Amino acid sequence: MTESTSPSFEGLDKGQVVAEREVAFTRDTLVRYAGASGDFNPIHYNDVIAQEVGLPGVIAHGMLTMGVGASVVEEWAGAGNVSDYQVRFTRPIPVPNPGEATVLIKAVIGALDEERRTARVDLTVEFDGAKVLGKAQAVVDCE
């Protein structure tokens, strides 16, 4: 017997907040993501190189922010139930050393498709009072 973790489509409402999380990015977070993903672009660990290309310093991988966003959706949707996920990277997140960058992630039902029984979850990801992702949308397969 298997137990699907897909959320039930019934009872979902547009505008409903399904998950929220505050995440602290540190240099450790970035190094860990670099190793796990294989993305070793030095702008994500070397301040000198980051400044040479016009950044204030080391910034988080856009894909780290996107990946953590997916984890927030999955916390509600269950593993393996996001069938489509897109983002635009609109602002970098500088990560100080020492210190941390606090990122606020909120997942809200943006649209419901009754025929397909899918929910579009819209993510807002904020750092320092500004949105860092645009058009961040995940499609979740529901029961």
Partner 1 sequence: MTVNLDAVGRSYGPFEPYEVTRVKIREFADAVDAWSGAHRDVAIAQAEGYEDLVAPTTFAVIIAQKAEFHVVTDPEVGVDFSMVVHADERFTHVRPLVAGDVIYTTVHIDDIKQRAGISMVTSRTELVDADGAPVSTVVSTLAVREAA
CB 14, CB 122: distance < 8 Å: no
CB of 128 to partner 1, least distance (A): 19
CB 65, CB 103: distance < 8 Å: yes
Task: Out of 14, 84, 116, 130, name the contact with partner 1 by CB under 8 A.
Answer: 84
Nearer to partner 1, 13 or 131 (CB): 131
CB of 56 to partner 1, least distance (A): 14
HSE value, Cβ hemisphere, 13 Å, CA-based, for 107: 25
H-helix or E-strand containing 72?
Answer: helix 62-77
Strand-pair partners of 125: 105
CB of 15 to partner 1, least distance (A): 23
Q: Which residues of the shown chain bind partner 1 in the complex (CB under 8 A)?
A: 2-5, 21, 23, 29, 32-33, 35-39, 53, 62-64, 66-68, 70-71, 73-75, 78-80, 82-89, 135, 138
